[in-house]
Amino acid sequence: MKELTLYDRAEASAEFLRERGFGPVPAGLTLGSGLGAVLDGLQEEQSVATSDIPHFPRSTVAGHSGRLVQGEMAGRRVIVVQGRVHGYEGYELAQVVHYVRTLSCLGVQRLILTCAAGGIVPELRPGQLCLIEDHLNLMGSSPLRGPHDERLGARFVDLTEAYDGSLGRTAAACAADLGIELGSGVYAGLPGPQYETPAEVRMLRGLGAALVGMSTVPEAIAARQLGLPVLGLALVSNAAAGLSGEPLSHEEVLEAGRVAASDLRRLLEAVVATF
Ligand code: HPA
């Protein structure tokens, strides 16, 4: 039997979702670690466990139960992705971004990527939200590696505007209206799953990064290949290693998400209302 291409698999996942009422919506919204409370702002209409969707990889991390939920947020229909998978779980980056391609097959028009991240610069305090301006792909791989399929976009993808300037300005304006402090900076994507050493954090700072995390980068790349504009929003869950004198823990990351999730929910509602 002929092996299915990446596009065929994304289309098969999309078809499964279409049969369950999912469809073309103005935005897909991916929730990072501990940010599930953002779903409180959603009038849920359809919900599917990612483990039921053909070709979807299974999430294996605490705080990342896998679901796709379609519903209304601020009067607009969105599809929320909860429980993305990461390269450190053993998945190829092509599998990590499978959901992005599925959303594109469904006709989703934009992608909002949220994540928890370590703050590398002192201006970014734990609990603060931060616009991702650009990224450093330090994951050692690319989701676009491997055979090329033009139905997914170009072989050599332009990343001059990996994160959409117009969406970023909208988010900044909405944050200002709401009185939410929104930082901005470059996100360094590392493979993980270990947190960084203090020496690595100093190196990242020297490279111009303000944030460090283990997700977001592959998805932004895949979205740009598909021509989807991307908005990236990070919650600074902790000061990166060596900056606060405290050890880092996943529990701390989840807790920061719970605390800041209501600001993130308000900001996302305001942004989505502009679509
Ligand atoms: N480093 C890498 N990934 C992270 C961090 C961090 O400090 N915090 C949340 N995700």
Q: Give the pLDDT confidence score for residue 244 in this predicted structure.
A: 79
CB 148 within 8 A of CB 102: no
To the query of whether residue 249 is one of the catalytic residues in this protein, the response is: no
With a 6 A CB cut-off, is 248 part of the ligand 1 pocket?
yes
To the query of whether residue 137 is one of the catalytic residues in this protein, the response is: no
> Which residue of 121, 238, 254 sits with most ligand 1 atoms within 8 Å of its CB, as the best mutation to test the pocket?
238
pLDDT per residue as tens digits for the range 245-264 = 777 777 777 777 777 888 99
Residue 11 and residue 13: Cα distance in Å, rounded?
5
Q: Give the pLDDT confidence score for residue 251 in this predicted structure.
A: 78
Q: Give the pLDDT confidence score for residue 274 in this predicted structure.
A: 96
Q: Give the pLDDT confidence score for residue 226 in this predicted structure.
A: 97
pLDDT per residue as tens digits for the range 110-152 = 999 999 999 999 999 888 999 999 999 999 999 999 999 999 9
With a 6 A CB cut-off, is 29 part of the ligand 1 pocket?
no
Cα 115 to middle of ligand 1, angstroms? 9
Beta-strand relationship, 111-119 and 211-213:
antiparallel
Out of 55, 86, 98, 135, pick the active-site residue: 86
Q: Give the pLDDT confidence score for residue 166 in this predicted structure.
A: 97
CATH 3.40.50.1580 fits 6-272, yes or no: yes
Q: Give the pLDDT confidence score for residue 64 in this predicted structure.
A: 52
Structural domain boundaries in the chain: 6-272
b/e burial code for range 186-196 (CB count within 10 A of at least 16 → b)? bbbbbebeebb
User: If you count them, how many residues does the chain have?
Assistant: 275
Q: Give the pLDDT confidence score for residue 126 in this predicted structure.
A: 87
Helices 98-106 and 6-19: angle between axes, nearest 10 degrees: 60
Parts of the chain with a pLDDT under 50: none
pTM, full prediction: 0.94
Tell me the helix, strand and coil percentages in the chain, rounded to 5. Answer: 35, 25, 40
